[in-house]
Chain A
Amino acid sequence: MAEKLLEIKNLKTSFRIKDDYFAAVDDVSLNVNKNEVLAIVGESGCGKSALAFSIMGLHTRAKMEGDILYKGENIVGISPSKLNKLRGKHMGMIFQDPLTALNPLMIIGDQIGEALLLHNKEMSKTQRKEKVIDLLNKVGIPRPEYVYEQFPHELSGGMRQRVVIATAIANEPELLIADEPTTALDVTIQSQILDLIKDLKDDMNSGIVLITHDLGVVAEMADRVAVMYAGEIVEIAEVTELFEEPLHPYTRSLFNSVPNASEEQDRLHVIQGIVPSLQNLPRTGCRFAPRIPWIDESAHEAHPELHEVKPGHFVRCTCYKHFRFPEEVGKEEEHHGVS
């Protein structure tokens, strides 16, 4: 039985716009186990990052409801000092943009050293330096003694991202949250960084939440995948299951809109409309319905829930049963016409 590391129960994170609160993460329940990579996919504006920031307690002004249990202990609403003891030591975060995540006025050695200093006061200066150089080695930075003295602007994007990762894993956290860790990087560097994250998982038995919109990265990395749309999880399944049999219309639309390097397609699928903004989000019924208007209203549930269609495979709303792409509908009709 997999050991639960993080348990999120009915989490609702709302932001205040004018005088009202709008939920960016709306009733999300998730588990992350030890030694597991859980990928969260969706377009921007779907609440992926808001969820990650909620777990790390980085929303200072948001209203948070529900529970986030880290090893059984609820971390929603605990005091900042308690949270600081967890963050960095037990939970690490890799941010998307390495240039803004690093302090431009601090040398690399001190930035990583700071993470160590905060959680391990007994460590001597020389020990700390040794450990930092060790970390730089671990993330594959060449000439670590030299890089130790450098400033962020002197490093390339890939190197900076490695520094961010080194900082996140400095205290060997059991839970690592990676928010689009490779989006800004070239493919060869991306594949190195992903290997690095995988090695960390194997070495430290950590649970990893990987947030990305790159389905290739998901296929390479994830054990389980949660698809988010408009603040809700619309589908969650094991990675092979999801890639072989994506069910929710949103998941299927996402898969179809990516240019696939191994297949020839003339036209890519386009999802109609845009991700609704927080204020305009439909709060009742199937939230994806406005973007698949050709599907009859009766196909949707009034209050869509996650249904377990196979062990471990959950889908929200019954509309997946009736969902066809317009192209498919056309073809089927043609087919019927001929026969």
Chain B
Amino acid sequence: MAELTERPPADAAPADAAPRVEPAAFAAGFVASLRRAGLPVSVDGAARLAESLQVLPPSQRSVLYWTCRIVLLSSRNQLPVFDAVFSAVFDGLLDPADQRGDPNAPPAIGSEASTRPAPRDDLAGRRQEPQGESGARAPAPAPAAGPADPGAVERETILMFASLERRLHTTSFALLSAEETEQVRHLVRRISLSTPLRRSRRVRPTHADGARLDLRRTVRAAHRTGEEPILLVSSRRRERPRRLVLLCDVSASMEPYTRVFLTLLQGAVAGANAEAFVFSAGLTRLTRQLAIRDADAALASAAASTADWAGGTRLGDSIRRFIDDHGRRGLARGAVIVVLSDGWALDDPAVVAAQMARLRRLAHRIVWVNPRTVAPGFQPLVGGMNAALPYLDAIVSGHSYAALGELADLIRAERLDLRSRPGTTTSTVPEPEPPTKGHDHAA
């Protein structure tokens, strides 16, 4: 298949205006190129492309471009990779070695992709950010950064050592050894997050008073009684949980907590249909990756596809990106939003405040998780954190397993008490007043 891939383009490359392509062979080859570049082109994509090329014979390069793009892509964020692959194939970025072979040789059907010459793999990556390269490849050999699932055996072990577990419950994630971190992640995986309910548009039958008469069900029921509507069926709105959105800071300053928090995110995505985003210099939606793979691999692949990963944290900017690209379109409306960040950011605090104000107007509840709030004498002097405070419903430390339990309570609560509970590190934030270490500041 690899042999097939670049041949038609190589053939066509000199004819700039009107690439000569044989639909079936070209489609198969081009799709293979895209898949190698990491695009999730579906298996029948090649067939559909071939079909489209018959309906619309590519008389010009642009026709071919649009046809391929329209048929094969399924999301805007695939565009950069697609464009890179397309121009690599057509704009002479091919490895010259490609043309050494006999262009008329029959394609080696079934030849394995692994037989291709090594440099060709770079086709897709060449126009991307250097970091993009590993992520741009086929997802199959995804870097297994984390341990390959320690498995249930280890979990059993944890359960046997109650005292150890108690220690794990209360120790800050930052103070745990790598091994303990893994154990805590097993615990965290068991935390189930749920959000308060709200009324949905769907109805269910009910016998309660005050419900609406459901004509549809009543008439259906009447069929059984000779069209005599004896049984009046009422219905009322179903309730469904609010959407849960988690935004997790993965910058260097959060590093000790990131791995555990990602596990929390993963559990939320799987268990509560949450939407998960990570941010540092830029914002990345991680829901999909977390749903299908190991949290570490998801983060690694996200890091690979984000160019500015290594830069400083841009809190305000990331929240802006979240609101502009996702939040205002519906994701954040009426949702419970959890921000996990220490608030250390490069942005101007005014930007953070402005974006938090926008988020406040969209969201039902905003809970901030800042592990640094447990430090003795913590004051939210960090610009970003201080700017965000007035817009929060609650701030919680979330630094240990027990503290994450409080977070779960805050997310679940139908209504937040304005008084914080004693003896915890939780503070609700009724006023833009800096919360202290967490004992009853509202009192």
A and B held together in a complex: no
Which residues of B line the A interface, CB within 8 A? Answer: none
